[in-house]
Amino acid sequence: MNMGIFIAIVEDRKTACRPHRKLVPRRLAMVVFLLLACMFHQAVPLIARTNAPEATPQIPPYPMQTMPRLAQAKRSPSTNTVGIVTGRPTGTDFAIAQDISTVLATGQETGPRGEVALRILPMVDKGGIQNVRDVLTLPGADMGITPKILLNRLRAGKELGDISKSLVYIAPLFYEELHILARPEIRTVADLAGTRVNLGEEDSGTDILARDILTRLGLKATEINVDQNAAVERMRNGDIAATMFITGKPARWLERYEHEDGFHLVPVPYTSSLEEDYLPATFTHQDYPNLIATDERIDTLAVGSVLITYNSPRASERYQRLETFVNAFFSRISEFESPARHPKWKEINVAAEWPGWTRFAPAERWLKQRRSTAPDADSRAEFERYLDRSGIVPSATERERLFQDFLRWWKGRDR
């Protein structure tokens, strides 16, 4: 309240109350008390707001009844989704997983809300040992594609425990070839000695296997780890002599390079030190017309891959999901040889056995139920056609072993 108004009121009181001089002090004191009380009542909140920190505005919470439904939706697993862990999107394993997802998604009846009986979800990772770790530990990673040689090595070293008991295989898959893209001065693998060689992403399947191959060939090079695109640019500058990568032919990203770029594919000899874990393979003009002449063949190595899963208890949801997957995948295997699918499907033999490892029980059951016999002459002819398509040129001993594997596949075909 304005102090001037207060004084004026007091003066008026004195004038108006002169006949009652004994009452004026009391009334005046009462008026002053009331005015001071009013002023104090208004001033206290202002003082408090000035001295205290500004309070954070309160946001009304979501209704409590909606929270359990949200939490339940996040926790509930999808009973019809199967995850496949693969390598990078440029790799063969990712392309194969995509084909599986696409083919099995077609021809399924949908439910009232559009749901399907089975969904395949490719999961991108770095490949190699990490894929195995994911299958053992990562929720949703029901299956994984990985090189056989890595699994054999992990089993022997027990880095991840006794994986011969914790992992089973569903089917052997494709072979991936070793590619060595090099500068013009690198004519043989021996020329890599003492140079800088890229082995791809660190701890990837290519990194581990390329280092293993160089060691078995007795070559010592300066190993670096960058992605393939960066490696090619550094090859142009002369900083790197070659880049190594393991993938199924044809590697589409190589289509952009030609002899005129100064790059070429280096042949790899099939020595006795490699026979235990690798197979011989070749590149032809049909595989890489921009890099290989019409009548030229380049020798290289191939490594087999396999589809693995965790050895789940039979009563578990994962086991039941994978049983549904196996029945759908095996029964429609012929559809994967369509020209629209990856060329490696023409080499895949899901009935081939992997010695020393246990096959997933529903897969073994499916194959046994559909086993039949084929005439030796027909099976031998089919085997020769298979070798021609794959480009594999094995020794006589290896050829017979492969033929026996082929016979087991033939007997397991769904006719």
Strand partners, 243: 181, 198
* Residue located via tokens 């992992």: 167
Phi, psi for 300 (deg, rounded to 5): -155, -170
Both tokens assigned to 284: 């032809």
Q: Which fold has domain 77-369?
A: D-Maltodextrin-Binding Protein; domain 2 (3.40.190)
Cis peptide before 375 (omega within 30 of 0): no
The percent of residues in the chain predicted with pLDDT above 70, rounded, is: 70
Return the pLDDT at 60: 39
Summarize the confidence of residues 115-121 as an average pLDDT: 76
Q: What is the pLDDT of residue 47?
A: 45
Which residues have CB under 8 Å from 231's CB, separation 6+? 198, 240, 243
What's the mean pLDDT in 192-221?
94
At position 169, the amino acid (one-letter code) is Y
Which of 397 and 214 is assigned the larger pLDDT? 214
Higher per-residue pLDDT: 42 or 338: 338
Q: Give the domain ranges of the chain.
A: 3-38, 77-369
Q: Which residue has the higher pLDDT, 112 or 58?
A: 112
- Rounded to two decimals, the pTM is 0.70
**Residue 281 · residue 199 · CB < 8 Å:** no
Confidence of residue 134 (pLDDT cuts 50, 70, 90): very high
pLDDT in tens, 345-358: 988 989 999 999 99
